[in-house]
């Protein structure tokens, strides 16, 4: 047994034209918030989809809570990758109740969970609003609520702050810190280096489908360090081109 909530070894999935990810090793430890940063098209979403079994790797392995994807208990996983999964015709509370029941909660547990997460993400006001009538940011909050309400041991969120207002960013930060303090392993991708530095215990940089290094969340100029890593990698890559 390891304390890794998520472990990837040599994970590779190549698309046409050389796009995709190659040879990714990644560990997300219990109790840690691990951020993935990279430029547009670097491979963050592809990596997350591979980790969640939404995409099949060409090679390499994934372990979630020490189990391969086909035997892991997905009820202990919460994720938001791509569009929030919500039924537009159903209101916020009903959407969350369905998600809670799908994660194995009893009706009574689901009611408690939903009340708690509506409060935690300041969605109580929108509990009776149909998902399709919600603003983009509130739909994102709903998706996050659905991913987090069952206190999963493994959390995977792709650019979760995209549509959030500053209050939402702070609320999500606190929600993730609480989940990690409770023992969850949290993997989160983001373009907001300042926010990532505030919340993450580890920061992995991905460029052109490969892990190229890490950033110190307490470093003085994280933006400069990020661009230096990416620039060095691009330069090396160009040098190795035939
Ligand atoms: N299903 C697919 N078929 C072909 N190419 C794909 C597919 N999915 C992703 N790609 C390509 O793989 C590369 C990595 O894409 P990915 O979406 O993982 O990047 P990203 O780091 O999440 O980018 P962004 O920050 O813009 O969201 C891109 O070049 C993308 O066009």
Q: How far is CA 159 from the centre of its chain?
A: 7
Contacts of residue 235, defined as CB under 8 A and 6 or more positions apart, other chains included, come to: none
- In total, how many domains does the chain have? 1
Query: How crowded is the C-beta side of 68, counted as CA atoms within 13 Å?
Result: 5
List the CATH number of the domain containing 13.
3.40.50.300
What's the 37 CA to ligand 1 centre distance in angstroms? 14
**What would the pLDDT profile of 20-40 be if each residue is shown by its tens digit?**
999 999 999 999 999 999 999
Q: Which is more confidently placed, 72 or 155?
A: 155
pLDDT value of position 239: 39
State which residues form the domain around 78: 4-240
Distance from the CA of 230 to the center of ligand 1, in angstroms? Answer: 17
Question: How far is residue 62's CA from residue 26's CA, in Å, rounded to a whole number?
Answer: 9
Reported as a single tens digit per residue, the pLDDT across 175-209 is 999 999 999 999 999 999 999 999 999 999 999 99
Residue for token digits 């547990």?
109
Indicate which residue's Cα is closest to atom 30 of ligand 1.
41
**Interval between CA 20 and ligand 1 midpoint (Å):** 6
Rounded Cα distance between 201 and 185, Å, is: 11
DSSP 133: G
* Strand duo 33-37 + 154-158: pairing: unpaired
Report the pLDDT averaged over residues 124-133: 95
Ligand 1 pocket test, candidate residues 13, 17, 24, 42, most atoms within 8 A of CB: 42
So what's the pLDDT on residue 2?
A: 52
Got the DSSP string for 159-186?
A: STTTT--HHHHHHHHHHHHHHHHTT-EE
Q: How far is the C-alpha of 172 from the C-alpha of 98, rounded, in Å?
A: 22
With both helix axes pointing from N to C terminus, report the angle between 92-102 and 136-148 in degrees, rounded to the nearest 10.
30
Gap from CA of 145 to ligand 1 centroid (Å) = 26
Residue 27 is predicted with a pLDDT of 97
Question: Please, are residues 131 and 91 in contact by the beta-carbon 8 Å criterion?
Answer: yes
Residue 66 has pLDDT above 70, yes or no: yes
Chain segment 148-179, per-residue pLDDT in tens: 999 999 999 999 999 999 999 999 999 999 99
What SS3 state is found at 230? helix
Of 38, 45, 189, 230, which is best to mutate to test ligand 1, by the most ligand atoms within 8 angstroms of its C-beta?
45
**Three-class secondary structure of residue 108 per DSSP:** helix
Q: Give the residue, by CA position, lying nearest to ligand 1 atom 31.
A: 41
The whole-angstrom separation of Cα 116 and Cα 53 is 29
Residue 159 alpha carbon, nearest atom of ligand 1: 27
**Reported ipTM exceeds the 0.90 cut:** yes
- 3: Cα separation from own chain's centroid: 19
Ligand 1 binding residues, C-beta < 6 A: 15, 19-20, 38, 40-46
């Amino acid at each position: 047994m390891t304390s890794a909530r998520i472990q990837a070894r040599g994970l590779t999935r190549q698309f046409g034209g050389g796009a995709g990810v190659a040879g990714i090793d990644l560990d997300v430890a219990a109790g840690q918030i691990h951020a993935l940063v990279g430029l547009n098209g670097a491979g963050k979403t592809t990596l997350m989809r591979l980790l969640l079994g939404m995409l099949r790797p060409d090679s390499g392995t994934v372990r979630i809570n020490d189990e391969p994807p086909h035997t892991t208990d997905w009820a202990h996983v919460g994720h938001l990758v791509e569009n929030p999964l919500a039924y537009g015709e159903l209101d916020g509370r009903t959407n969350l109740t369905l998600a809670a029941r799908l994660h194995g909660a009893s009706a009574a547990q689901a009611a408690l969970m939903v009340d708690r997460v509506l409060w935690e993400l300041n969605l109580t006001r929108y509990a009776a609003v149909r998902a399709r009538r919600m603003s983009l940011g509130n739909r994102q909050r709903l998706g996050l609520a659905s991913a987090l309400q069952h206190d999963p041991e493994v959390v995977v969120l792709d650019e979760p702050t995209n549509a959030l207002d500053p209050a939402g960013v702070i609320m999500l930060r606190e929600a993730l810190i609480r989940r990690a303090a409770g023992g969850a392993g949290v993997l989160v991708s983001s373009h907001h280096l300042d926010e990532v530095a505030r919340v993450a215990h580890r920061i992995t940089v991905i460029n052109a489908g490969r892990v190229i290094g890490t950033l110190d969340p307490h470093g003085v100029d994280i933006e400069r360090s990020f661009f230096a890593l990416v620039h060095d990698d691009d330069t090396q890559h160009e040098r190795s081109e035939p």
